[in-house]
Amino acid sequence: MKNQTLFKQFHALIDNEQAQFVLENVNLFFIVGLGRSGTTFLSQLLKEVSRCAIYHETKRDGEALTAAYWNIHQADYYLSTYRERLMAWRILRTHCETYGEVNSYLRYHVKALQKRYQPQILHLVRDGRHVVTSIMNRHTFTPSDAKHSGRICPHPGTPYAEQWDSMDRFARVCWYWAETNQYLVDCQLPLVRFEDVISSYECFSHQVLKPLGIDVPTNIWTEQVNVPKNESKTRVFKDWNSWTPRQKQQFEEICGEVMVDLNYIF
């Protein structure tokens, strides 16, 4: 009810023309990627930037992700009918000079975002072996999957479409990582590797801070890197070193080419 009330407030006060004017007059950026790749960590870290308003994800974005995956025109529709007014309302409320989102749910909105606002957009990626392990410890592609992933599968005529029904859950999760990152690679976005940004402040500065024109002090980066990450609460599915030979083969067949393109050695 509270969210509905807030939406009515900014929906009534801000039209699309006003929203676009607001968005054109701030430093605007998005960092997108597949979930479990460090989006929560990075959003928390960037919230330390002064004069910035940094957001993660909303429930409504998850629904929009599925719509945009199946119909790219839905991405522009979502921005124009709801999302850009939400962003403008946030900017006006916070009086920020920089507005940014680290949001995995907007990954299929990249082209629409570029067309409407010309923001800086970065592609956040994490080693597929770690992401697949993390996702396997969640509900993704299970009967209890209440989120969007259960409504995403290969488009007709694309690789794995015909064999999807016979693919086991592990193979589907591998496809999910490979498909998402291949799509973002094709968008030709600057790359941010999660392993790099948590291993070296210099890498973090080079891959994130300088492209976005913002600053995070070294001591803040050090503090956040040492905070426990958003790991899966259950660890039933073990690390990739414990995968079966068949699982390792499946991963290499499905994800290997994308892993190499992203400079991961395995």
pLDDT number for residue 145 = 82
Contact present, 84 and 23 (Cβ < 8 Å) = yes
What gap in Å lies between CA 31 and CA 212, rounded to an integer?
10
Q: Which residue matches tokens 């597949």?
A: 34
What gap in Å lies between CA 62 and CA 105, rounded to an integer?
5
CATH topology assigned to domain 2-261:
Rossmann fold (3.40.50)
Q: Which helix (H) or strand (E) holds 228?
A: none
Q: Across residues 52-70, what is the average pLDDT?
A: 94
Q: Count Cβ neighbours within 10 Å for each residue of 19-57 and write b for 16 or more, e otherwise.
A: bbebbeebbbbbbbbbbbbbbbbbbbbbbbbeebbbbbb
pLDDT(4) > 90: no
| Cβ neighbours of residue 19 closer than 8 Å, sequence gap 6 or more | 84, 85, 87, 88
Domain boundaries, the chain: 2-261
Percent of the chain with pLDDT over 90: 82
3-state secondary structure of 102: strand
What gap in Å lies between CA 211 and CA 203, rounded to an integer?
12
Q: Across residues 61-83, what is the average pLDDT?
A: 95
Please state, in angstroms and as integers, the Cα–Cα distance from residue 252 to each residue in 29, 131, 152, 154, 227, following that order: 33, 14, 22, 18, 32
Q: Count Cβ neighbours within 10 Å for each residue of 198-219 and write b for 16 or more, e otherwise.
A: beebeebbebbbebbebebeee
| pTM for the predicted model, two decimal places | 0.92
